Every structure is written in C-alpha cells, then in structure tokens.
Amino acid sequence: MAKNNTARKESPVEKPANARVRAVAGSNAVPDLDRLIHERMRLGIVSALAANESLTFNELKKLLKTTDGNLSVHARKLEEANYIACTKSFEGRMPKTEYRLTEAGRKALEKYLNHMEALIHAMREL
C-alpha cells in the first residue's frame, strides 16, 4: 500500500506543465532565489535603501509601516549578511541610527531582481 501512496505523490510531477515549471526552477540559467532578500520586510528595507543614499531607523519604520522590534530584527539579519551598513550617532542628546545599502547588498538586490525577471519571463512563455 505504501507503494501506491508513493506513486500518487510522483504522478503530478510527471505532468507536462509541472515539468516545464520544474525545468525553469532547476535551470542553470536561473540562479537560486536569495531567501534573505525574498522575505517581504527585508525586501522592503533593501529596496528603500537602494532608492535612497541612506535612511534613518525612524524613516524606514514609517516607510515600511512596521514596529521597532520587527525592523530591528530584519535590519540585523541584513547587516549580518553585509547587505546593509548601520551607523549610530547622536543628534544633540537623541540617538540616531542610519542605514545604507552596501555594495554587496546592491549586487544581491540586482541578482534577486534578475532572478525574478527571469521567472516572470519564463512564466509568460508557458
């Protein structure tokens, strides 16, 4: 009986439409999706910084309509990957955290956008 369950799981993969999608996803011409950037909030951060020389923590928080904690967690992941750089300073007595996109972050975003464009192009050809 286990053999029948295995056959059922494999049969949808054998359909021609799925084969085309699988070929696109597994193609050497299309690089793997950058899961770090693909997450919605991190994509928002990277995109906002690509369009601006730099943004403060509060500017990003307002732009992305998120909480302090949520922005901090996602910004930290991007910073650890060297996709963004964080500079902390003071304006008077008020702390100021400013972010900018690094060269590695810019390249990662470009690669991600190329990947998404390739997927869109491939899907429109189906």
Tell the burial category of 93 from Cβ atoms under 10 Å away from its Cβ (0-12, 13-18, 19+). Answer: exposed
Per-residue pLDDT tens over the stretch 87-97: 999 999 999 99
Residue 114 has pLDDT above 50, yes or no: yes
pLDDT of 112:
95
pLDDT of 97:
97
Which residues does 2 contact at the CB level (< 8 Å), separation at least 6? none
Per-residue pLDDT tens over the stretch 17-73: 333 444 444 444 545 789 999 999 999 999 999 999 999 999 999 999 999 999 999
Q: Are 49 and 85 in contact (CB under 8 A)?
A: no
Tell me how far apart the alpha carbons of residues 126 and 124 are, in angstroms, rounded to a whole number: 6
For the chain, domains (ranges, CATH) are 1-30 (no CATH), 34-124 (1.10.10.10)
Tell me how far apart the alpha carbons of residues 85 and 33 are, in angstroms, rounded to a whole number: 22
pLDDT of 126:
81
